[in-house]
Amino acid sequence: MIAKCVMVLGTTSGAGKSWLATALCRHYARQGLKVAPFKAQNMSNNARVVEGGEIGSAQYFQALAAKIEPDVRMNPLLLKPERDTHSQVILLGQVNAELTRMAWRARSEAVWPVVAQSLDALMAENDVVVIEGAGSPAEINLSSSDIVNLRVARHARAQCLLVTDIDRGGAFAHLYGTWALLPEADRSLIRGFVLNKFRGDAALLAPAPQILQDLTGVPTVATLPMWWQHGLPEEDGVFDMTPTLVASRTALPPSGEDPPDLPGGGGVPCLGRPGAAAQTPEPFTIAVVVYPRISNLDEFQALKNIPGVRLKWVRSAAELADADWVILPGSKHTSGDLAWLRAQGLDRAVAEHANRGGAVLGICGGLQMLGEALIDPHGIEHAYLGNAPGLGLLPLVTVFEADKTVRRRTACFSDVAGLWSALSGVTVQGYEIHHGQTAQQPAMAAAGDVARVLMPDGLAWQNTAGNVLGLYLHGLFEDAAALQALFGQHGAAHVPTLDAVFEAMADYIERHFEPRVLAGLIEEPTPITSNT
């Protein structure tokens, strides 16, 4: 079979490409079609472990929406930023040192054959391939080395949608300007415009869609109302800095319509500490520290849906004052982010929180920061930073190895003490992505300061007081057993399954796209018309 290809392009990053591509994957899959996602190149520190290595989180979730096993071919090139001018390059799931050292433009030509082969293979195996672009196809400074937007669209003979975020303003100018900057031969690839994140009365959009169609020949085929908290983890490090408190519904109704049928309702339990069940009007505040190279922040999506929990993203010491839990998440550059933490005074604030008996959780890079020292003999995190002292909250030392650990894991907590005791005996599924290898600090162990080992292979550690926990395992808050242990059945029940999220997303686009547009995209090319 040779798949029909539908491609989602955007006027900007954050316009809604990943979200719409995910919804399209589920829509076409539930028509009985064999569907696969594809994004030639993704730049993100949000990654997931699949067979063969790691891919961007967006393509991982798109594959699940398409009801197939995620595959490294779905995101053949992943760039993981380590600083403003440098990224680690992942090719077909594995770190590629040669490509990492290569200049951007030279790299594009070197990897295009792998990109094309991956896409061709997916097209040969599926009925539909849903392709996601990156940034904007009108980035004319990068057009000569493009391997993710128009070059992919031409290769796949894709039917393209161009989506824009109307909530930011200037949406019609963004659509027209993007279309106008495309090479004239490529403009025919654009089959429809999509207005995303609309708030207000759609009748007030007229006559703009018709004027835009008169100028471009391209109809506006959907106006998607704003949908807060749809349940899909955010992509590319985009998140809402406003503290989130979910009291009664998982999803808020977009623009006056009823919210999709996701789990919700009920009272608002507040957690005085993990596993508590007391009812109180005071929210339970979980603070996630947002350093510059934060990674895998999408694993905290479930916390947005727990009733009575306020999730906040923190960048200053003052913001930790009301936190019940402090989470140090993963980092693509642990030593650099630790230096940033100190520059903000957050190191002292985290230590003070822990010394008062407050709960602290470090995940992957966050675990490494909690220890006594970071040692980088191979310059993995770049030699100019050298070795660094940790926060000293766990008696551990991390050594960065040349080989990267990338694997899925299932592991069971042993006897967990103190504030995290609800996790005792809980088996959780997750994944590891790290260069660091962490072990007990020998001199401290000789002096009697020994960290508690909670999982095999050094996957989890705890201090003797029981309030500081470090994990190499990503995905704790995506595991149903862990959620139930920490928040009780009532809280965990409010976290929608991913399948429910995908179904609601498909329902949503089916309601808001013009009739026959979605079907028309996978038929032989014919003009798409709009009644907007």
CB 317 within 8 A of CB 348: yes
Query: Catalytic annotation on 364?
Result: yes
**Distance of alpha carbon 326 from alpha carbon 363, whole angstroms:** 11
Judged by DSSP in three states, 174 sits in helix
Distance CA 389, CA 439 (A): 15
Considering the chain, what is the average pLDDT of its residues?
88
Question: Residue 470 corresponds to which tokens in the numbers above?
Answer: 């470090």
DSSP E strands in 107-185: the ranges are 128-132, 159-165
Instruction: Determine contact, residues 144/21, Cβ cutoff 8 Å.
Output: no
Mark 397-411 as b/e (b = at least 16 C-beta within 10 Å).
Answer: bbbbeeebebeebeb
Look at residue 245 in the predicted model and tell me its pLDDT: 52
CA angle 386, 387, 392 (to 5 degrees): 150
Three-state DSSP state, 24: helix
Please report, for residues 65, 428, 496, the alpha-carbon distance to residue 232 in angstroms, rounded to integers and kept in the order given.
11, 21, 10
**Per-residue confidence (pLDDT) for residue 219, from 0 to 100:** 98
Locate CATH 3.40.50.300 in the chain.
4-229+499-520
User: Which position among 364, 435, 494, 512 bears the catalytic label?
Assistant: 364
Per-residue pLDDT, 238: 44
Q: Residue 276 has what pLDDT?
A: 46
pLDDT at res. 19: 95
- What's this model's pTM, rounded to 2 decimal places? 0.84
- Indicate the burial class of 256 (C-beta count within 10 angstroms; 0-12, 13-18, 19 or more): exposed
Integer Cα distance of 170 and 231 in angstroms: 27
Pairing of strands 77-83, 41-43: parallel
| Alpha-helical runs (H) found in 255-343 | 334-343
pLDDT at residue number 530: 45
The domain covering 4-229+499-520 belongs, at the CATH homologous superfamily level, to P-loop containing nucleotide triphosphate hydrolases (3.40.50.300)
Do residues 96 and 58 lie in contact, with contact meaning Cβ atoms separated by under 8 Å? no
Q: Domain 278-492, what architecture?
A: 3-Layer(aba) Sandwich (3.40)
Task: Dump pLDDT digits (tens) for 65-85.
Answer: 999 999 999 999 999 887 666
E strand map for 265-414? 284-289, 294-295, 309-314, 325-328, 330-331, 359-363, 373-375, 388-389, 396-412
Spell out, as residue ranges, where the chain has pLDDT lower than 50.
237-238, 246-256, 258-280, 383-384, 526-532
Active-site position among 27, 174, 353, 474: 474
Indicate where the chain has its CATH 3.40.50.880 domain(s): 278-492
Which of 231, 426, 474, 486 has the alpha carbon at shortest distance from 329?
Answer: 474
Q: Which amino acid makes up residue 159? A: Q
Identify the H or E element spanning 164. Answer: strand 159-165
